[in-house]
A and B are shown apart, each in its own frame.
Chain A
Amino acid sequence: MTILQDPTVWALAAGVPVATMVVVRQRKTAESLRRQKRGLESELTALQGSHADLQTTIAELRRGYDEVVRQAKEEAENATNTVLKSAMQTLQGLAAEQQRAISGLQKKYGDSAVLRDLLDVDHMNSQFNRRAQSIAVLCGGWLGRQRDAASIYDVIRAAQGRIRHYQRIDIASRVDIAVTSRAVEPVALTVAELLDNATSYSAPSSMVDVEVRTVPKGMCIVIDDAGVGMSEEEKTAATALLSSGSAVSVSELGNPPAFGFAVIGALCARFGFTVTIDSTSPYGGVRAVVMVPKELLTDMPEPARPAATQGANAGTGDSGSAPATTAGDLPRRQNKRRAMALVPDNQPEEATAPPARSAEARVAAMGAFQRGTLSGRSAGVPAAERDTPADTHEGFDAP
């Protein structure tokens, strides 16, 4: 058997080229795959780059969108505020006008049974005006009235008149301090909102105590209710509103709108007083404290001097001992009202006391009277009857 006859050799002879071909083909395939992979990899890097680019673009667009939305919202809010502000101004003007009309009617019908109803209407009008004021404040608007400086007691009573259950307010202390004219309305509105909260969240039969205390920084109005108090969350939310300044917009008040604390917060930021509600009242309810700084306080305005006390020196036209200027070197206002008439205390004595006149003068006067009577009668009565009624003037001859 030769080597050529060995089938293995034949098998090898046929197998080697086939194997070589296979190997070569596989190498080629691997090479092309490798090339493909490289190509894909570079493509991937390029794509990743463009993806990052796209993401930055998207972020930019989103920022731009947010900005536009914010601007649109702001513009819409400004437009709403402007509309509301002017609408409220109209309402405030009408309420003030109505109040003057009611005042006039109250004086006109002061003695009739209509007065009772007029007082009720007056009360409703005050509440109405307060609502309009609150909305105006939230829109950055104007409070409606420039007042004279008023005592803190009167400011609290003004606030008291603007809430529904004003009869449940008890103002305990009287401090002789006045609020400057600029701060009268804001403080009154703030106290009114606090009193409204206090009466709304306490039993209808309970009283709300108001106390005024002087502190080194100014003056505090302390409002204590006997209500259910506030939870920690409520306190936090309220404190946030109180310190938010004018950041709360009308559209964020919810439905039904919760004005109170937002209004107070706006007023505090604008006028520089502070309100805290984080303590508990002695009755278990809420204690609200309004701290009015010294800058907003002033001396008591000259009280309206009752006319009758000036009766004694009314003739001189001088109010006597009152200094001509206030502590702030401003001219003190003189009260121009005077008593129209006075009934003296000792009138009966005066009526019985004889006029100081000498006896001679009295005789002379009586004589003149008698002569006049006689001459008058002699003119109208016939001469024959002239002397007959002598007894009618007999009494005048004495003494």
Chain B
Amino acid sequence: MTHPDRTEPELVSEAGELVRPYVITRGRDLLDEGAFALITLVTTSTDDQQRPQRLSPEEQQILEMCSSGYLSVAEIAAHSQLPLGVVKVLLSSLAEGGYLVTRAPVPSARLANKALLQEVLDGLKALSV
């Protein structure tokens, strides 16, 4: 009989994450799409001293991550090694708790009207002639 404590070398690397993502969200439902965009910027609203102890390690980690400036949702997901949807759930609960403030992404510039551009060009040409 093999010794029970022996570890199987070929399987050691298979050890997955100890705490699974659905436990991290505590079974809370995922957010609807569009609640947080990938490029929404997030930062902390409170000091470290005011941080409550009841937060999960992952929430603490996110707060600490954002404490020195704005980070995008995509970056937080990449650093925390968590699925994006799970990060969004955590961010939303932190924002609800007032620990985080979010800044909507800068709207992309609207495409200029082609007719207007043509008119300006014509005007310039008229000037220079």
Shortest Cβ gap from A241 to chain B (Å)? 19
Which of A106, A141, A182, A303 counts the most chain B CB atoms within 10 A?
A106
Known: A110-B85, A140-B4, A146-B7. A311 touches B18 (CB 8 A): no
Select from chain A the residue with minimum beta-carbon distance to B103.
A343
Tell yes or no: B113 within 8 A of A by CB: no
Residue in chain B with minimal CB distance to A311: B68
A-B contact count (CB 8 A): 156
A141–B26 alpha-carbon span in the complex (Å): 32
User: Which positions 110-129 of chain A face chain B at CB distance < 8 Å?
Assistant: 110-113, 115-116, 118-120, 122-123, 126
Closest to B41 in A: A343
A270 to B19 alpha-carbon distance, docked (Å): 24
Are A119 and B21 in touch, CB under 8 angstroms? yes
Residue interface mask B3-21, A partner, CB < 8 A = 1: 0111110011011111111
Q: How far is the CA of A306 from the CA of B66 in the complex (A)?
A: 8
Interface size on A, residues (CB 8 A): 65
Whether the pair A343, B70 counts as a contact (CB closer than 8 A) is: yes
Chain A, residues 284-304, CB within 8 Å of chain B (1/0): the string is: 000000000000000000011
B83 cross-chain contacts in A, Cβ below 8 A: 106-107, 109-110, 115, 118
Q: List 24 A-B contacts (CB under 8 A).
A: A100-B16, A106-B21, A110-B84, A111-B85, A115-B84, A115-B85, A116-B85, A126-B20, A140-B1, A141-B4, A142-B6, A142-B7, A150-B18, A158-B20, A161-B20, A167-B26, A167-B27, A270-B4, A306-B67, A308-B66, A308-B79, A340-B75, A343-B69, A344-B70
Return the 10 tightest CB-CB contacts between A and B, nearest first.
A110-B84, A306-B65, A110-B83, A167-B27, A306-B64, A343-B70, A115-B85, A106-B83, A161-B23, A119-B22
- Seen from chain B, the residues whose Cβ lies within 8 Å of a Cβ on chain A are 1-2, 4-8, 11-12, 14-27, 29-30, 33, 38, 41, 43, 53, 57, 61-62, 64-72, 75, 77-79, 81-87, 128
